[in-house]
Amino acid sequence: MVKYIIKRIFIGIITAFIVATLTFFIMNLVPGGPFLSEKAVTPQAQQAMEAKYGLDKPLFQQYLTYMGGLLHGDMGVSLKKRGFTVTEIIKNKFPVSARLGGIAVLVAVLIGVPLGSVAAYRRGKTVDNIIIVFSTGGIAIPSFLTSTLMMYILSVKLKLLPSLGLDSPKSYIMPVIALSLYPACYIARLMRSSMLDVIGQDYMRTARAKGVSVFKSIFKHALRNAILPVVTYLGPLLASLMTGSFIIEKIFTIPGLGHEFVSAIPSRDYPLIMGTTIFLACFIIIMNVIVDIAYAFIDPRIKLK
């Protein structure tokens, strides 16, 4: 187990290194520079700026400098937000995105898992059909449509909820619904199909024959066996939602990490692009390791090696 985790972390570091290298060179292939867009910059001033941030050096030199800094946990300073280091920006923005994303994942699991289980148990009945129709419909609506339509109906027409920002608990409602609709429906579908497999197993019949109640047999015996595909899906989902959804943050003007990244690309804020990409990649890698470890706890038959 410990050996496995060490191996995974080692592979994870290599992956993060490759992602960082790829991003660095792809990013520098984009034409234009960080100081071109600013108004009335004399060539001398521009050169001075580039020299200050080391952008005048050969690309490979810059790469080595950056990677050297990264090893010491230094991700550089933002080129656009003067006086802020990338680490500070991530530290400030990540909690906002993480709270929103975490709530959304929680809601998605709490809705998706029971719905999928119920649908599987009542296979072919009206309840099952209703759940299938809704979950199939739900995965066909992009979140930007859910959020804009909700905004139109709930904020503009009915004036029930605030449309922008994250100032009050009420303002979490719409972004959370918009973020969790797709994963909730997806989890319900995953859960239904894996639950159908499990319900057909012999031990389920044995459990019922022993006199275990329907509720207990589904949620104690079957759930633990059927939830593995959902856990697999949860790892990347948590990573992508907690690091900020660009669309939702843009629509609801939420000051999160996703918003920061999308605005960093057009302005060529190289250190910020690198920082957010590496952060997200590491987050995904860590989540995947956690998912693998969680496997062994949920299903003791799985041996990690």
What mask, x for binding other proteins by CB under 8 A, covers residues 209 to 248?
-------------------------------x--x--xx-
How far is the C-alpha of 60 from the C-alpha of 58, rounded, in Å?
Answer: 6
Min dist CB 100 to other proteins, Å, is: 17
Min dist CB 215 to other proteins, Å, is: 29
Burial class of 144 by CB neighbour count within 10 A (0 to 12, 13 to 18, 19+): middle
Min dist CB 31 to other proteins, Å, is: 5
How far is the C-alpha of 26 from the C-alpha of 44, rounded, in Å?
Answer: 27
Stretch that binds other proteins, among 60-68, 115-123, 134-142, 199-207 (CB under 8 A): 134-142
Query: How many amino acids of this chain bind other proteins (CB under 8 A)?
Result: 41
Interaction residues for other proteins, span 146-205 (CB under 8 A): 148-149, 151-152, 156
How far is the C-alpha of 72 from the C-alpha of 283, rounded, in Å?
Answer: 18
* 50 within 8 A of 33, measured Cβ to Cβ: yes
* 159 within 8 A of 153, measured Cβ to Cβ: no
Min dist CB 116 to other proteins, Å, is: 16
Question: Which residues make beta-bridge pairs with 85?
Answer: 77
- Is 142 among the residues that bind other proteins (CB under 8 A)? yes
How far is the C-alpha of 259 from the C-alpha of 97, rounded, in Å?
Answer: 10
- Is 78 among the residues that bind other proteins (CB under 8 A)? no
- Is 59 among the residues that bind other proteins (CB under 8 A)? no
Stretch that binds other proteins, among 18-26, 73-81, 115-123, 296-304 (CB under 8 A): 18-26
Q: How many residues does the chain have?
A: 305
Place of tokens 């012999």: 202
How far is the C-alpha of 122 from the C-alpha of 107, rounded, in Å?
Answer: 23
Among 22, 59, 130, 214, binds other proteins (CB under 8 A): 22
- Residue 178 or 223: the one with the smaller Cβ distance to other proteins is 178
* Alpha helix positions (H), 122-227: 126-138, 143-150, 173-199, 202-210, 214-216, 223-226
- Is 30 among the residues that bind other proteins (CB under 8 A)? yes
Among 4, 8, 23, 128, binds other proteins (CB under 8 A): 23
Place of tokens 């699991």: 109
The 3-state secondary structure of 81-97, one letter per residue: CCCCEHHHHHHHHHHHH
Min dist CB 279 to other proteins, Å, is: 9
DSSP state of 36: S
- Within 8 A by CB and 6+ apart from 279, the residues are 90, 94, 243, 257
- Is 46 among the residues that bind other proteins (CB under 8 A)? no
Stretch that binds other proteins, among 70-78, 135-143, 168-176, 196-204 (CB under 8 A): 135-143
- Residue 76 or 235: the one with the smaller Cβ distance to other proteins is 235
Site residues (CB under 8 A) for other proteins?
11, 15, 18-19, 22-23, 26-27, 29-31, 136-137, 139-142, 144-145, 148-149, 151-152, 156, 240, 243, 246-247, 250-251, 261-262, 265, 273, 276-277, 280-281, 284-285, 288
